[in-house]
Structure 1
């Protein structure tokens, strides 16, 4: 039997390890070995071998009931990501916006065809006004923050993202391309995005956060349920907060270079 090249074996182990880590999500925080095997498509013996290594390093933790969950060591490593600097810098401004508006405040960045929530501040324990949570992914066109991020994506990558949306998120369909293009052009002109809930004064409004070169690196948004005043009334505060975060990031030039990389 021919022995595979060492490089191929190493890639195979890395791929399998990443597949195992990738099976954990917000709905599957704790998994048994058989559950990991089923979701990853890997044999139980392979899962057991790799999970044992991950557990030994601290990437996975073993619970009293025998299930596994993401470990503290992996979280510690993740805090080294440059977006942690963005979140830390933005947080005081987000708290201030929440105090001003009593609305759910989010900070989001783009990753491919999704927006990823980096921070959420809300008093709404039942989450009736929003769908996001820290670390959650949402298709870019589905939220005001996502629309801001999509509108300010570079032309080449923007076309790629819009083309990928029907494939990565089939529910988006492929028929709303022209309407989306028109909406994104309006967002670029006006410097904000507004999503109004049907038959309601509630909704969401977002504005861009810019880095040192004027590149949009994130979006600040507020989301409210039905309220006496239209959601557009919150736009000045959202813009002011996004601009304050942008200024803070530009002042902190070293960490800004990392985020914008």
Structure 2
């Protein structure tokens, strides 16, 4: 069984097995134990143990003192050099830093990757609520500010697939009803921003807004993550809106990427 509960064919080639191990981390879970890696990858424990050990030796995975594994720095460095991600991050960082200075809250930049949010940059607010998000991690679309923005402007096939699928509960106020989530994303389209409160993590709220390219397509989303007690839209939304508008102008002028660089669904014309 795969990590999503579906039947998964066991990879045959060595390269296929290695890719299956690395892909296990793309399904969610910053740290995984060996049993979970093998279950997600569809590999026998002995095979997984041998290949994971080799990946650790090469720096592509790291073994944490508690016995779990996480993506290694070598793999992170290779992935961070992808032209689309690098260009977007370089354009976004000055605006994210300005936004941080204005709010001292956590700032996140995410893009749509299949049916999840890929976090491509993050600034941690030293006086804000702690967050577990890491650069390179993927998050659900239905529980996060960046996710709801990307879901609202996603290709119909992606949006309807998420709405028709399981909506796991991550915190007390996670939206798990498809009808309610549909109304929520429709509101995001009308208002131009998304809000979450205690939906991904108890005590944390976020407000997200879209980043657009020169054609007006949404290519990313930026969010502020704050303590629920201090998450006042009157304080957070104006600087966030200013930042995404400025970044959108830079994207339109300088970035040669596009929404299809992050989501295979966009190449289908859906």
Q: Do both proteins adopt the same fold according to a TM-score greater than 0.5, normalized to the shorter chain?
A: yes
Q: Find the partner of 1:111 among 85, 93, 113.
A: 113
Which residues of structure 2 form unaligned runs of 5+?
1-9, 264-270
- Counterpart of 1:27 in structure 2 is 31
Q: Deviations over 1:1-28 (max 9, x none)?
A: xxxxxxxx99533321122324555223
The 1:18–1:72 alpha-carbon spacing in structure 2 relative to 1, beyond 3 Å, is same
The 1:91–1:71 alpha-carbon spacing in structure 2 relative to 1, beyond 3 Å, is same
Cα drift, residue 91 of structure 1 = 0.8
Give the length in aligned residue pairs: 245
Q: Deviations over 1:48-82 (max 9, x none)?
A: 66457656866457899x99864554233212322
In the alignment, does 2:16 pair up with 1:15? yes
Q: Deviations over 1:140-170 (max 9, x none)?
A: 1111211111111122332122223x0xx54
Q: Find the partner of 1:96 among 95, 98, 117.
A: 98
Alignment of 1:1-261 (within 5 A): 12-23=13-24, 26-28=30-32, 40=41, 42-43=43-44, 46-47=47-48, 50=51, 54=55, 59-60=60-61, 70-81=71-82, 82-124=84-126, 128-164=129-165, 166=166, 169-171=167-169, 176-196=177-197, 203-226=205-228, 230-255=232-257, 259=261
**TM-score (structure 1 length as normaliser):** 0.74
The 1:37–1:191 alpha-carbon spacing in structure 2 relative to 1, beyond 3 Å, is closer
**TM-score (structure 2 length as normaliser):** 0.72
Higher Cα Rg, which structure: 1
Q: Whole-Å Cα distance in 2 between the matches of residues 254 and 15 of structure 1?
A: 32
Q: Whole-Å Cα distance in 1 between the matches of residues 58 and 198 of structure 2?
A: 46
Conservation of the 8 A alpha-carbon contact between 2:113 and 2:262: no
Conservation of the 8 A alpha-carbon contact between 1:89 and 1:248: yes
Q: Whole-Å Cα distance in 2 between the matches of residues 38 and 202 of structure 1?
A: 31
The 1:21–1:102 alpha-carbon spacing in structure 2 relative to 1, beyond 3 Å, is same
The 1:148–1:232 alpha-carbon spacing in structure 2 relative to 1, beyond 3 Å, is farther
Q: Whole-Å Cα distance in 2 between the matches of residues 99 and 175 of structure 1?
A: 35
Which residues of structure 1 form unaligned runs of 5+?
1-8
Cα drift, residue 95 of structure 1 = 0.6
The 1:43–1:202 alpha-carbon spacing in structure 2 relative to 1, beyond 3 Å, is closer
Cα drift, residue 191 of structure 1 = 0.6
Q: Deviations over 1:179-208 (max 9, x none)?
A: 22222111111111122459xx97321110
Conservation of the 8 A alpha-carbon contact between 1:140 and 1:146: yes
* Higher mean displacement: 220-229 or 108-117: 220-229
